[in-house]
Structure 1
Amino acid sequence: MGRADERRARQRGGRRAAPSRRRSSPAAGRSGIRRFFTWKKMLGAFLGVCLLGIGAFIVLYMMVEVPKGNDAAKLQSNIYKFSDGSILARDGKVNREIVDLSKVPEDIRNTFVAAENKSFYKDSGVDLKGTARGLINTLSGKGAQGGSTITQQYVKNYYLTQEQTVTRKLRELIISLKVDRQMSKDQILAGYLNTSYFGRNAYGIQAAAQAYYRVDADKLDVEQGAYLAALLQAPSQYDWEVASKTGKKLVKARWNYVLDNMVEEGWLDASDRADMTFPVPKKPKPAAGLEGQKGYLVDLANDQLARQLMKEDGISREEADKLVTGQGWTITLNIDPKKQAQLEKAVKTQLTGKLDPKERKVDADIQAGAVSVDPKTGRIVALYGGENYFEHYRSNATREDYQPASTFKPVILAAALENGAETQDGDPIGAKTVYDGDSRRPVVDANGNKVGFAPPNEDEVDYGDITVQTAMNKSVNSVFAQMGVDVGMEEVMDTAADLGMAEDLQAVPAQTLGTMGASPLQMAGVYATLDNHGKKVTPTLIKSAEQRNRTVTMPDPIGDEVLSREAADTVTSVLTGVVDDGTARVSVRENPARRGQEVAGKTGTSDFGRSAWFTGYTPDLVTSVGLFGEDDKTGKQVNMKGATGQLPGTGRVNGGGIPASIWAAYTFGVTDSDAKFDLETDQGAAVEPSWTPTESEEPSESPSEEPTTEAPTTEPPTQTPTETPTDTPTTDAPTTEPPTQQPTTEPPTDEIPEDPDNPDSER
């Protein structure tokens, strides 16, 4: 083609023909594997799987029948035994009263629908997304999550079990679909309200209304109904009487969520909603037969078993509680009946027998809690939760809302030793390290800058240069405040968590005064770890738990080393000085019942005299005793000043007084007088004692380590010699079922002491 022809071709829109090429077949350029994964084949495979799934579901739907509801028939009494096999308690019948839906006001029904399943009246009885998520979580081992409809929850409560398996979830789905077709929505809702577990051993709306508000279901108001509806999400955490601060915030938020949903759905007028206030439930009434200490022991056993079931089965706390309550368990505790009897007797002789609320109003506000642990096994061998489970439902042994005060100081020293910390002058921190012990000495950081914290010492005493050993003996605040900053508060809090305290404690200098919250159970674990040469001890109440064909094995209470042996043994060595030459010497060192037992321990008293502690140990037993000021009407924390009327001068209650006396009256009656600490350390009072006993020495006064500006106590409470314990605790075996509600504990307050200038400031 010439140029003219090309030009004409372009003008006509033509193009010069390209040379012809030989085209290969479509499959020629593909690898072998791609031939098997064409989009047509993949689509066909997908559709085939879907058809198979639908076919399988149809077969299952035809095969699975709605079983007869026999939930109530499955319930059996739990039996609780002492470590020697003797019966401690036997729970009785389950608290349930079936009521017709007509007895539940429509507004109250709507609170539950608003809380759990807003589409209840419109759905087909199942939540496919929630069920699919549950199946995936079960297969992947992630445990259970929410999302079930009211119908599904009713089916699980009444027809099935709480186990988390793929088979059970598929049955739940199919039965829910059938139940939704066979029953009306009102029938399903009635069944749901009558079978749900509300805590406090209450099954069903009628039992819950009585347990929490002392009214029948038809007398509940909307605020109360919304609380009960919110409670279903986590009964053991949301029971207002025993909920932690976090639990109370969560249940209030849930309560608001329920009411807001009701407004959104048009079931509640917005103006009425705005006027509603949170309805605080009434105090619980424990089941008969759990008098004395039995209820506290049963509650803690139920709690520990439920927590283990949550781990093993991947279930929620609500589901775990249902698996424990009235399910025919035989639970053997680690409680030694002789030690339990001796602990109860010690509290009575040293405290409760001296309380006279008619004579002294403050005596009505005194609560005691104690936990005793074998440091070699981690077993809880004795526990004191309060004077009577019927009178004080919340266990003082497990509550975490009071400050441990100076009993936290050993944790600071442990952190210093474990981290090889040094003072501002570069000296390694140990028992002989010298600090400035003057009162209100400003704490400084590594750069010499003040950190804004200058705690007072007791009675504003200026000690000048003082060793760490003496500072521990006399519980000198200024020394340990500076030590905490020298170590690093993050490291101190990490050590506290490693030893068994809360893991989310705020790392601020004020925590060196023990301003967080802690329980006797926690502090017993911390000191048991020290006694066990740094191997973690997690106090455990349950020895064994058996149910028909199932046996639950509790985790080993003795864990890995969380503190080096040298660090742990050095702290123990230093703490022997607190007993022999410090704040516990009158009640412990000079106690006439002491038969040569080696003892280490620490006293403590919190802000405004609201709590007083002695946590101490011998080579074979660790016991933490706490005394708590709690207004008997409002439950608020109060000063215990003047309690028992036995304290002279200011009437101040301190850890070296009543708590140490209880500890001694119990411990010296049940421990081996020949046991010796096996310490691998060259530091501390156990190695270089600052006090040498003599036969002619008269008992000296016990220095108080308590509120920083009040006069110290000059005399201890009268010490009653320990008597031989009886073979069994002072309480009789119960015959009826206990509540399953385990008092939950409050989180640490992480607050700076309220006012160091106040005469009741922490020491």
Structure 2
Amino acid sequence: MSFFATAVRFLALPFTPANYRNDLRRTLLALGAVGALAMFLLLGATLLSILPKLTTLDVVTDYRPKIPLRIYTADGALLGEFGEERRDFTPIQEIPPVLKDALLAIEDARFYEHGGVDYRGVARAITAGLTGGMRQGASTITMQVARNFFLTQEKTLTRKLTEVLLSYRIESALSKDQILELYMNQIYLGQRTYGFSSAARTYFKKRLPELTLAEAAMLAGIPQNPVKHNPAVNPVRAKARQELVLKRMLHLEKITQAQFDEAIGQPLEIGRSLQFEAHADHVAELVRQELYAQYKEETYTQGFIVHTTLDKAEQNAAYDSVRRNVLAYDQRHGYRGPEGFVTLPTDADEREDVIDQTLARHPGSDNLIAAVVTEVSAKLVRAEPATGDTLEITGNGLRFAARALQPNARTDIRIRIGSVIRVSQDSKGRWAIAQMPEVDAAFVALNAEDGSYRALVGGFDFYRKQFNRVTSAWRQPGSIIKPFVYSAALEKGFSPATLMNDAPLSLPGGENGQPWEPGNDDGYDGPISLRRALARSKNVVAVRLLQAISPQYAQDYLQRFGFEAAKHPANLTMVLGSGSVTPLQMARAYAVFANGGFTVTPRLIEKITDARGNVLWEAPPPPVRQENQRAIDPRNAFIIDSMLREVASSGTGAAASQRLGRHDLAGKTGTTSDAVDGWFAGYSGNIVAVSWMGHDQPRSLGAREFGATLALPMWTDYMRQALSGKPPSERTPPRGVSYVDGDWYYDEFIGDAGVKALDVEVSPLDSVFDAIRKVFGD
């Protein structure tokens, strides 16, 4: 009898208990059979519609993950990374067993037993859900691979069936280890991090083999919900998830009770973002620009690895030196007041929201952290940073801002409740009030032999202003340009022993029809040798010397060092640094003196490889030097080197030798008019370095500031690291120079011309200058 007939009969019969029970049973059975048949037909139809649409497995069988561009120092320290996804590809053989055990324990304990879909696991998950037992997932690792690579997260029957079919196909195409390898490299783990290798670096600053059981368990707990179980964002929930992973490992006998107890009790230090081993943001950006010009968008996905010429220790020393000396300058010039102010609500939740929103507009800068003041007196300041912990500042930590804590302090500098201030923490954990500096700086160091970069710091904070002052800031050089004019003078027959008159000088061509009267910072000394004049940076002597050789000759000569003629107008102010240079140009120019007279081309990239280690490009070995690379006579380089050593031992740069305890340093200080720019350029051995400090919008750094107080300390702090363990460098005199009466001369100028130049009778004012002109001409 058909289902419909049974149903009709059942409804038509008069009600009796016997009739009701018999026909109800038959009707329910019929309903169940029809329902099952309908479900079977629906399932079959769905499968038939899915099968033709199943995608190919190329994306997993030929796995090409999106791996970011990574940039390293020459000695292997990571200094930059660019890409939407932070990811390392790690072969399954290199993933430690403790991490694999932790992951499989919580995600798919029967991974190596099932064929892609674990029906026993599904049953257990349903039972656990009904009985209130430990929650267990029903999706296998294979099913998650299918979903992550091919499907969306929508919860529909069609999507789930597609996932099952794809899982079986993946299992037939790949081995279990290959599937696990895909999963562990592809899965999202929070903080823009993909794959466990990258997650280990992001959260623990470790490589995978270095993970402890506790760390591995915490990472294994993230995949189920990368937001909820992210240890950087939700440490409490991440800890609970870690304990669940460890319990599963203990239950499956992957670890012992002792290991469980130890892992549960191990405190973990969690990082909030990827930490680089070298501070070199400006360098990383230079490399990114160069690769993007060649590879466009593939730059960020193909896993290019770039090895630069930088040295990790020297780069970090340069970065620390710039930061330390900029902050030291800032401290010398006083507290300028809070960065902002916000009215704090009385409601605790509203107050917290306001503080969070305010601090989001004041991002941190390394150890300079923004915080909102919640309590203030002359002896105590409490403030809340973005982390939410209340900081207490007392004692010496208040000294820098002491004036701003007085009741009668000026309104623009007074610290009050709601003020946004900067704080910094010392090595002993003590907090102090600080401030973001307004001044900026730049530092660059090259290998003087081959032009390779040793260190580069383009500014105090890359994220405050992404401007590379090393390569792009055109500034007046001040007195660091003088050695190049002195170098030009050597070719005209002058020597370090030539006497010039250091006396007031008045020349036409000043402003408003007035005479131009260049002066010295330390008065006048009368007759003085060129060696001592350079050591003490005598401006008047430099102007007289330039007038003797002519500005046009000097302008032409400067181009030998890589300077641009148009940036150095051919007039007498050129020798005082009225032109424009970049720190990189200046480093390249001083390298000529350091290496015996040859030009060098700065180079940053040593090698580029793809994600599999194949070399895409490698810098050729430095060629044997040819004479066509020579910028100046080796005798010229040797003599100027001796004069620059004098500057660093007894002249304006003497603090360098005193601080480093070395006598093989050569260099020159530079301070522009009104102390707008402070410079030091110099070298030792094959390391040449240039430091600069100034405001991006030029203005005075202060009447008592000079290159020796601003830039020289940066240079010496870096050189302390760069020269550590290196023996003193000595220069061998080249052929064609002679040491006569205490100084060096070109051999051809020791004769009549040289003697006449030395024997000029010195008389007041310009008589010496006029006499020299008679000997050498205009």
Q: Which has the higher contact order (CA 8 A, sep 6+)?
A: 1
TM-score band by shorter chain is: 0.3 to 0.5
Q: TM-score, normalised by structure 2?
A: 0.45
Q: Write 1 or 2 for the structure with the bigger share of helix.
A: 2
Q: Write 1 or 2 for the structure with the bigger share of strand.
A: 2
Greater gyration radius? 2
Q: TM-score, normalised by structure 1?
A: 0.46
